[in-house]
Amino acid sequence: MTLTVSANGAEIPAIGFGTWRLRDDVCRHMVEVALDAGYRHIDTAAAYENEVAVGDALKNHVTPRDDIFVTTKVWYDQLREGDFQRSAEESLKRLGLDQVDLLLIHWPSPDIPFDEQIRSLCKAKKQGLARHVGVSNFTAPLLEAAMRHADEPLVANQVEHHPYLDQRVVHAACRKHGLAMTDYAPIARGSVLEEKVVMEIAEEKDRTPAQVVLRWHVQQEGVIAIPRSSNAERVRENIDIEDFALTPEEMGRISGLARPDGREVDPDWAPQWDEAA
């Protein structure tokens, strides 16, 4: 994958490999398959309990470490100063790395003072635990607040985004501050692939529905997508999206699938989400 997004000093491959729910040998194998297929961006988290497997795959693969952009995340109950550093150091140990390319606050905490959460994050960068830092599941107002507290550049906000979910408000906030928006659940866990409009465009272009939806993501300014698959063929399919483009009209038809109940990930600890634009 040669498509990249530049964001406040970071150069991030526009398609990353998501690893949530992949564990142990399956995870190790699928990360190797992804690297073979050309992925140079791998997304994990302390909470996924697969960092050892991801680290093994990175270590065993011929691709030089420096060519791979590795993201991990600190869970929301570990955001106090001290806890945060410990969590990040344990992630590095499990991954077998000196430093990750990107370290994210996985979710904002409703219980820990906000300024301390951002201070912990920035301190991790100063300590050299991560080349870059960022956030995940931050709404536009939370991102504005984070920008006021941060004394290091934030490079990405990882959020749920797919055609069913209008995320123009948080996308605009990311653009305003130069952050990439990294779209998780980019194919809505598969459901959007059966939409008539997606299937029609796929047929017209002789591509698969997943390729059409992933192309829709990366054609949006500053947007990255991190699809996950446990199927080697689909892993390869999901990154093979460079040699075609969607027209503005096709982009609009896919965006037209947005609906008020389009959000899939909404746990108890979630912040109050942005309204649709």
Ligand X SMILES: NC(=O)c1ccc[n+]([C@@H]2O[C@H](COP(=O)([O-])OP(=O)(O)OC[C@H]3O[C@@H](n4cnc5c(N)ncnc54)[C@H](OP(=O)(O)O)[C@@H]3O)[C@@H](O)[C@H]2O)c1
Spot the catalytic one: 39, 48, 76, 164.
48
Q: Cα-flanking dihedrals φ and ψ of residue 34, to 5°?
A: -65, -45
Q: Is the dihedral of CA 239, 139, 145, 99 positive or negative?
A: negative
Contact region with ligand X (CB under 6 A), list: 117-125, 140-148, 173-181, 223-231: 223-231
Contacts of 201 (CB under 8 A, 6+ apart): 212, 246, 250, 253, 254
Q: Which of 3, 20, 65, 99 binds ligand X (CB under 6 A)?
A: 20
Contact region with ligand X (CB under 6 A), list: 7-15, 80-88, 93-101, 231-239: 231-239
Q: Which of 109, 120, 139, 238 binds ligand X (CB under 6 A)?
A: 238
CB neighbours (10 Å) of residue 39?
Answer: 25
- Chain center to CA of 103: 11
Query: Is the distance from CB of 70 to CB of 105 less than 8 angstroms?
Result: no
CA atoms within a 13 Å half-sphere pointing along the CA-CB vector of 153: 14
Q: Closest CB to ligand X among 53 and 188?
A: 188
Q: Closest CB to ligand X among 129 and 188?
A: 188
CB of 47 to ligand X, least distance (A): 9
Contacts of 1 (CB under 8 A, 6+ apart): 13, 14, 15, 38, 39, 40, 41, 239, 242
Rg of the chain, C-alpha, whole Å: 18
48 belongs to the catalytic site: yes
CB of 249 to ligand X, least distance (A): 24
Q: Using the rule CB under 6 A, is 220 a contact of ligand X?
A: no
Q: Closest CB to ligand X among 162 and 253?
A: 162
Contact region with ligand X (CB under 6 A), list: 56-64, 182-190, 196-204, 250-258: 182-190
Q: Using the rule CB under 6 A, is 167 a contact of ligand X?
A: no
Provide the binding-site residues for ligand X, judged by CB under 6 A: 18-20, 43, 106, 136-137, 158, 184-190, 193, 210, 226-231, 234, 237-238, 265
